[in-house]
Structure 1
Amino acid sequence: MKFLKFVVDYDSDEQRPTWEGHASETLAQFLREQFKLDDSLQRYILALTLTLDGKITVHDGLAIIHRHLSSLGLFGPGFCAVYPKWGGGSEIAQVACRAGAVGGGIYMLDTGMEISQKDTAPEGKISLTLSNGTTVQTASLITAQDDAAESALKIRRLVAVVNTTFANLFEVVVEGAPTPAMVVVSLSGATDSASNIPIYAFVHSSDTGECPKGQSVIYLTTLAAENAQERLDSALDMLLKNVAAPPSASDGEGAAATVPMCLYKLAYDQTASSREAVAVGSSGPADADADAKGAVILHKLPSPSLELAFRDDTLEHVMDAWRRVVAKDGTPDEEYMNFEDREGAENYDDDEVYA
């Protein structure tokens, strides 16, 4: 309770001296030395940060926990965050596509592109060939980095569809709150007492629309360290055993509990690129001043962070790309995502269907 009171007001003039001298230390060490919390309580608090390696700093950890606690009730009674479907950020990308459309842009789903090897574009432009055979010309091209950085973090993911509803997890715990459709389960230290590497399970119910009724989808994540797959499999088994149905009288004496089945599993490793945007052909961070007048702008954004919570600085990279394409002519930052009304837009009917 002492720590919770502290973190709610941690950035005040009164509380800063408590932690600023320890800002670069690990949060676990800070909790142990300053608040005398044992290993079990440390794990509970670290779980709120969704740290992948358990080594989050005091500076970052306090900010994340403060944001989490201060967001309680922000979106309605009983919850403090919005979770995307499908275990990734695809819905966020869709929001970005719609934002571009509001600004007069066009987005094409399931369409790839490559730079044409037989470029007939005029000076200051390049030709692109889309996967549907269409050829277009552009003066600027923003893409994503495909190559992982040499020292990049690597995580192991496991997606499992199971034939149980986890009814005990999806309970309303705050009066007036909706029934949860997603629950975060921290399994740090639960599957391997010798490992301090956290495991997180994001359990999605059928209310998300990701699976049929009577089933659930579990997205498990941990660092891709030694025995990562075995640890994820053990975590999944433990979750399923915890909701096993006890044997009925008709099953006879000594009958075992019925453990839910895993209907589908997908496992893969994921890595990240450099955290800096790169101008194609350069060896360092993108530099808007390097763009000669009339030259084609080729800009590669960093891949998304592997952190389980969305990082606000992701949008800073997007704004940097905007500056290279739009603001290079002196457009002020205040114009970013500020769209002028288009002719006829005021007559748009949300209920009207367009072919």
Structure 2
Amino acid sequence: MDSLDGSSYDVLISGTGIQQSLLALALSRSGKKVLHVDKDDTYGGPEAALSLQEAEQWVEKLNSARQTRFRNTSITKSAGGEQKLSPSRAYNLSLAPTLVYTRSGLLPILVSSKTNEQLEFMAVGGWFVFEKQEDGARVVRVPNGREDIFADPSLTLKMKGQLMKFLRFVAAFEEKPETWQPHRDTPFADFLSEQFGLPAVDALMALCLSLEIPEKTTTDFALPRIARHLRSIGVFGPGFGAVIPKWGGLSEVVQVACRACAVGGGIYVLGQGISSIEPAQSDEDDVEEIPREPEKPDVSQDIHNMITEGEGFVDTNPDHLDELESGIKEQSLDDLLAAAGYSIAGVEDEKPTPAVEEPVEKQTASAAVPSEKNSLYSVQLSSGDKVSAQFIVGCSDDLPGSLPATTIGTKVAGAQPDTASRSITIISSSMQHLFVTVAEGGVSPAGAVVVFPAGSLSSAAHPPVQIMVHSSDTGECPQGQCIAYASTALTGQQGQELLAEAIKMLLAAQDGEAQALWSLSYEQHAEALASSAEASQSSILKFQDPPLDFVFDDAIIENVQAAWQRILPEADDFMVFGKRNEDAQEEAEDEE
């Protein structure tokens, strides 16, 4: 590879996590000269997806170096389990398994940025709660709505009425601030009891996916999350309200975003991080003319068509949909496919190839043209090369802390621990009972969520354990197996023991023959960054770490847009792109 030494850039992005990669996507049509580096040899950072061999190397690397984000990593293999494992590359294990609600802000920007055509999404179907009983234990499906509640024999008639009263309230809770705002800092369980006469309902606690104990889960935290869950059900089809990206979760979104930036002229270098940053002499920047993009298109129908399952393209029955503000209109499936240019997933016998077949190749410095503006910073990379840049962007784990930096984003308060214990377990069974289609005309889900309420395992004082189970339809494991991603706020050895107990109970509850073949355990830390007046004008932009729960947080989109706006202060077309050939034609016409 040619040396980068002496090259100059408008933007230097460090790390290929989801926030940095979405920023690279946002800048891919801006005309800015972008250098995107990562100290690791794989894409994704904390959102990376690893094969078995890459996971072994990852653990070895972390255990031999001081790390701030991941620690206490280890791999456990069951006796005789290795013989049942497939080759290393048959697995795509996500370090940050993430479900995306259908109302999330991520889906519209994937469509408007023209990257949705390279991605597939699978439905997350059932939510389950673990229950201990005298004769053993079981996982119980969380009711999805009115019909499920009234069909549940475990609920008394009085409790069914109380639950329905709460569901009617939460559907439009913003319109009734007098009911909940005086209790916003009250534990949510107390709010349910005082306002609706409900005991601490495990099903409702499960829907807000809090990693903390009920006493630390406030009403202000729980209500918007339960409302988001309920409002998302049925948007793209009956029976589900969330999706997961196929082929390794957010890692696939990262690679598609980075590829778009590379096609737009961005330079990518893996295995090189930033060693030091020093101020460089700088004149006042001239304001460049910002390329204008077309008006933001209506993307609702394209989003509607993004959700695929193993058997083919998902068509939504409009009779099951509410009247949506986005105005999804009834069209034939053929018309939808032709208009959007999508191919039907799963029609070929062979396994589809991932959107990014090979990592974005390391490009040479010769592709970079020095910026016409004077650079603000001189940067030394870990290779020893020195480059200069006007803006430097990354997370705290990817940037040295020697100079003041502008914090992008705020720490989300309430039921969000700074550190969580996590595990990734390969299960010998497909656990098919978790992936049942429950709604007429619904799709076959590839993801399920199982919540072990606080105190439901060996210790009455432990926080909840959340497990997200992915089937082989996600492309993360071979057929006949599944992946269980577990998380809890309890840290240290106790946290890992709690996760192992939860996995054991999950396997025993429904499938006595299922076995944990292989497991990766680790702790993940999310650093909370403080803002300061001194750093607010810095052109070093440091993203706040995302929360550690399983749900994609729309604050990530807000953070990316805030960084993009700092770099392009006069632009107003965030993530709105035309087709590349259309853009080239418009540029040629402008030159004439």
Which residue matches 1:163?
428
Local SS of the residue matching 1:168: helix
Alignment CA distance shift 1:210-1:109 (3 Å)? farther
Which residue matches 1:176?
441
Deviation at 1:179, TM superposition (A): 0.9
Which of 334, 337, 340 is residue 575 of structure 2 equivalent to? Answer: 337
Q: Equivalences for 1:25-104 in 2 at 5 Å?
A: 25-39=186-200, 41=201, 43-53=202-212, 54=214, 55-84=216-245, 89-94=250-255, 96-97=257-258, 100=261, 104=264
Higher relative contact order (CA 8 A, sep 6+): 2
2: CA distance, partners of 1:182 / 1:95: 22
Structure-2-length-normalised TM-score: 0.47
Which residue matches 1:253?
none
Deviation at 1:196, TM superposition (A): 4.9
Q: Equivalences for 1:207-218 in 2 at 5 Å?
A: 207-218=473-484
Aligned partner of 2:520: which letter? L
Q: Equivalences for 1:1-355 in 2 at 5 Å?
A: 1-12=164-175, 15-39=176-200, 41=201, 43-53=202-212, 54=214, 55-84=216-245, 89-94=250-255, 96-97=257-258, 100=261, 104-106=264-266, 108=268, 110-115=270-275, 124-127=376-379, 129=381, 136-146=387-397, 153-188=418-453, 189-192=455-458, 194-225=460-491, 227-245=494-512, 259-276=513-530, 286-288=535-537, 291=538, 297-327=539-569, 331-332=570-571, 334-339=572-577, 345=583
Contact 1:87–1:219 under 8 Å retained in 2: no
2: CA distance, partners of 1:326 / 1:36: 52
Local SS of the residue matching 1:11: helix
Contact 1:78–1:174 under 8 Å retained in 2: yes
Aligned partner of 1:198: which letter? P
Aligned partner of 2:563: which letter? A
Aligned partner of 1:154: which letter? T
Contact 1:185–1:201 under 8 Å retained in 2: yes
Aligned partner of 1:200: which letter? Q
1: CA distance, partners of 2:265 / 2:559: 19
Aligned partner of 2:274: which letter? E
Alignment CA distance shift 1:199-1:298 (3 Å)? same
Aligned partner of 2:463: which letter? I
Q: Deviations over 1:114-163 (max 9, x none)?
A: 257899997534245476x97654222111112999x9721000110010
Q: Deviations over 1:152-210 (max 9, x none)?
A: 72100011001001111111100111111000001113313512511000001111110
Q: Deviations over 1:215-257 (max 9, x none)?
A: 0100000013462111111101011112335xxxxxxxxxxxx
Alignment CA distance shift 1:27-1:107 (3 Å)? farther
1: CA distance, partners of 2:575 / 2:435: 37
Contact 1:72–1:79 under 8 Å retained in 2: yes
Contact 2:437–2:445 under 8 Å retained in 1: yes
Alignment CA distance shift 1:260-1:268 (3 Å)? same
Local SS of the residue matching 1:180: coil
2: CA distance, partners of 1:120 / 1:306: 36
Contact 1:152–1:274 under 8 Å retained in 2: no
Alignment CA distance shift 1:93-1:266 (3 Å)? same
Q: Deviations over 1:34-93 (max 9, x none)?
A: 222223x2x210110000103222122111111111111112222111224577643443
1: CA distance, partners of 2:172 / 2:182: 17
Contact 1:171–1:180 under 8 Å retained in 2: yes
Alignment CA distance shift 1:119-1:65 (3 Å)? closer
Local SS of the residue matching 1:202: strand
Larger deviation, residues 55-64 vs 233-242: 55-64
Contact 1:161–1:264 under 8 Å retained in 2: yes
Contact 1:75–1:81 under 8 Å retained in 2: no
How many residues are aligned here? 311
Q: Which runs of 5+ in 2 are unaligned?
A: 1-163, 282-373, 402-410, 586-592
Contact 1:210–1:217 under 8 Å retained in 2: yes
2: CA distance, partners of 1:26 / 1:216: 35
